[in-house]
Structure 1
Amino acid sequence: MTSEIHAAVTAAIAARTEQLWDVATALHAAPETAFAEHRAAALLTDALAADGFEVRRGVAGLPTAFTGEAGSGSPRVALLLEYDALPGLGHACGHNLIAAAGLGAALGVRPVLGEVTGSVLVIGSPAEEGGGGKITELDAGLFAGVDAALMFHPGTQNWSWAPLTAQAELEVTVHGRAAHPTGNPTEGRDALAALIQVFNSISVLRQRLPAGGHVQGIITRGGTATNIVPDLAEGRFGLRSLTTSALHDLIAQVTDLAHHTARATDTRADVRLVRAPYAHFHRNEVLDALFTRHIEPHGIVMTEPEPGVYLGSSDIGNVSAAVPAIHPFVAITGPDKSDHTPEFAAAAASPTGRSVALAAAQALAHTAVDLLTEPEVVKAAWAAHG
């Protein structure tokens, strides 16, 4: 019986090949950045509603977030769709392929839900690129009752799981006192000079950060004229650490550093988190193995990440800390390339991108079927959750 269900899912996705690629290319042709993915959300929710999913739009207080649900009860498997693009680079992270693959998996599984117990929940999560839409959805309870959260990500390697680090963004605002640099220089308190000193101190801190730790900053405000001592300066700092715990320690270090520098320069520093931090990714070996097994028939061999290689960060990390999750990388370019480049954006609309998205749709769908038809798999996934 289970083999028949898997066969039906394979056929259902194969029958939708052109529809799924049309979705991927439509998103690619009209990229929308974080929290502005209105056309993408409409396209995806219309496809889900047309196939019988119960669709809710604007969930978690986010206009471009949505859910679609079919079936009932447990197990409850979530398929995650990302669809935001990068400013100036379009889909240079391949989120159009993530959306198409997740949609394909959902449409492939829905027809067999009457033959199995449980439900499929599609979660449209906006603003992965710096906005943290999944964190807002998690806080709003959208993942309550979910037994597994499934998605894939285009990459430059075929890696069965994602060595994603914890990440936060801090804004440091330094308040000084304006003055004329020659008329009354002793009255001034140079906010920009103080902020530059923060950068210098971070350079010293950076030398002793452990593996996976990183701080990168930019100046966003530094004064208005060369003949005025700046009374206000602002900088933003991206912080990364190997674990969420280590990230919180790094946030505390940078915050203390900014305040100590302000005191030393007779200025005042305000430090705030720009958004909720991204947690590191919590691997689930049970789910990894299922996805790996199901994508291999498509000629894609998954491997472990290279030791000591740490990638970027994602709000899937926060989800993975709450429920069993997968986030494998499947290559659409060679390992000599990088995402967040025009070349990667082109690959996200290439024949290779098409074949990877369709293979990932199949692997995600069959992983979902395993969870829906084999209670011991759900138990094992939770047992491996940590």
Structure 2
Amino acid sequence: MSDDALAPVYARIREEVAARADRLWDVALALHRDPETAFEEHRAARLLSGELETAGFEVERGVAGLPTAFTGRSGGDGRPCVALLLEYDALPGLGHACGHNLIAAAGLGAALAARAALGRVEGSLLAVGTPAEEHGGGKVVEVEAGLFDGVDAALMVHPGVYDWTWAPLTASAQLRVGFHGRAAHPTGNPTEGIDALAALIQLFNTLPVLSRRLPPGSHVQGIVSDGGRATNIVPEYAEGLFGLRGGTTAAREELEAELRSCAQGIALATRTTVDVDRVGEGYEHFRDNDVLSGRFADHIARAGLRLSEPVPGIYLGSSDIGNVSNRVPAIHPWVSIMDLEDGADHTPRFAAAAASPRARRAMLAAAEALACTAADVLLRTEVQERAWACLRDKAAAGL
């Protein structure tokens, strides 16, 4: 089925989004006025799942063991299945300075418009509420719970300061490194002490050496989370928390192995012992599906938004969408709501931009493009097949 053949479907989707424009913006502003942080998004989840339920979706709340996660299904359990992802957690102290209120409204609008425009089709449409992207990784939990099993495309969009077809998102993990020594009085019996803090400081001193040989997209940043209790006691325990990022999940795993090796070597040299533990599950790198992100870019161009490829060498942090994208075909395009020269996300200025007229235009254009991309997957067998082939090829190449 060609674009020309689907033109009436795309036109109906445009009409359905336009008919809901004011309500979708009301939802976006309601979330913006009432920000809730990771795993605490009870009012947001209730608002969004209620909108889906009112529209006729079969809603299940508390999925994957997460009280603020939900799904809304239309069309049964058949294949193909398209999942539209809604993020809605906010940042502590900054509110929606990452624009998740717009992600939620765009995903909601896409789900409502696609259901209304397509009617009964083979397959199913799934709206997925994904809490705690900023901290904790709701999508990681949902992936492990099997929520994305049987999904053929996972679609979402993110506001930002770039107009890019996809987001270069690194893999990330946190490691807690704890050195164990022996307490002593630094004057009375200094030779009896084994300074755990000195060992931790030595680990920090190795990081610049380690960083010089890391590949692009990889880095490590640490803080001292426990440095002792008093200046007149040799610290018997010291702990650091280290954030690791890699351009690919494999690169992050190599960096993790290197940090563990450094810590163990320092423990041997300082006569301490060391524990190195992963904090949480970690985020995998984002694997863009060129087939689907290309369809999204074509669709959003009708609204006058032109997306380009990311600038090489620029990375935009990490996200739990990476864990989804390594298992099913996925997209995560970037649509600007503020100019680069005015700053970046995770700032008060960006939080204000997430409730601006420009944000409304971007959200509605993204909702339409997401719904049209969902229609491509549901109605065009060749799009489904090419999307899965793209994922397999990238996985085989380690990209």
Report the TM-score when normalising by structure 1.
0.97
Alignment of 1:82-97 (within 5 A): 82-97=87-102
Deviates more, 1:140-149 or 1:222-231: 222-231
Q: Contact 1:165/1:313 (CA < 8 Å) preserved in 2? A: yes
Q: Contact 1:214/1:241 (CA < 8 Å) preserved in 2? A: yes
Is 2:258 aligned against 1:253? yes
Is 2:316 aligned against 1:311? yes
Mapped to 1, the partners of 2:39 and 2:197 lie a distance apart of 32
Aligned twin of 2:17: 13
Q: Contact 1:65/1:125 (CA < 8 Å) preserved in 2? A: yes
Mapped to 1, the partners of 2:226 and 2:162 lie a distance apart of 38
Aligned twin of 2:348: 342
Q: Contact 1:71/1:119 (CA < 8 Å) preserved in 2? A: yes
Alignment of 1:196-207 (within 5 A): 196-207=201-212
How far is 1:95 from its partner? 0.8
How far is 1:353 from its partner? 1.1
Aligned twin of 2:178: 173
The percent of aligned pairs where both chains have the same amino acid is 62
Aligned twin of 1:367: 373
Q: Contact 1:113/1:119 (CA < 8 Å) preserved in 2? A: no
Q: What amino acid maps onto 1:199 in structure 2? A: F
How far is 1:126 from its partner? 1.0
Specify every segment of 5 or more residues in structure 1 that has no aligned partner in the other structure, as ranges. Answer: none
Q: What amino acid maps onto 1:297 in structure 2? A: R
Aligned twin of 1:23: 27
Secondary structure of the structure 1 residue equivalent to 2:282? coil
Alignment of 1:1-386 (within 5 A): 2-72=6-76, 73-336=78-341, 337-385=343-391, 386=394
Mapped to 2, the partners of 1:296 and 1:120 lie a distance apart of 24
Secondary structure of the structure 2 residue equivalent to 1:304? coil
Report the TM-score when normalising by structure 2.
0.94
How far is 1:113 from its partner? 4.2
Q: Deviations over 1:174-193 (max 9, x none)?
A: 12222222122222222211
Q: Deviations over 1:310-355 (max 9, x none)?
A: 2211111111110100000001111222111111111111111111
Secondary structure of the structure 2 residue equivalent to 1:322? coil
Q: What amino acid maps onto 2:188 in structure 1? A: G
How far is 1:84 from its partner? 1.0
Q: Deviations over 1:19-57 (max 9, x none)?
A: 111111111112111111111111111111111111111
Q: Deviations over 1:244-272 (max 9, x none)?
A: 11111111100111111112111111111
Q: Deviations over 1:259-292 (max 9, x none)?
A: 1111211111111111112111112111011100
Q: What amino acid maps onto 1:359 in structure 2? A: A
How far is 1:5 from its partner? 2.6
Mapped to 1, the partners of 2:19 and 2:118 lie a distance apart of 18
Mapped to 2, the partners of 1:234 and 1:131 lie a distance apart of 21
Runs of 4 or more, structure 1, over 6 Å off, are none
Mapped to 2, the partners of 1:106 and 1:218 lie a distance apart of 42
Secondary structure of the structure 1 residue equivalent to 2:346? coil
Aligned residues: 386
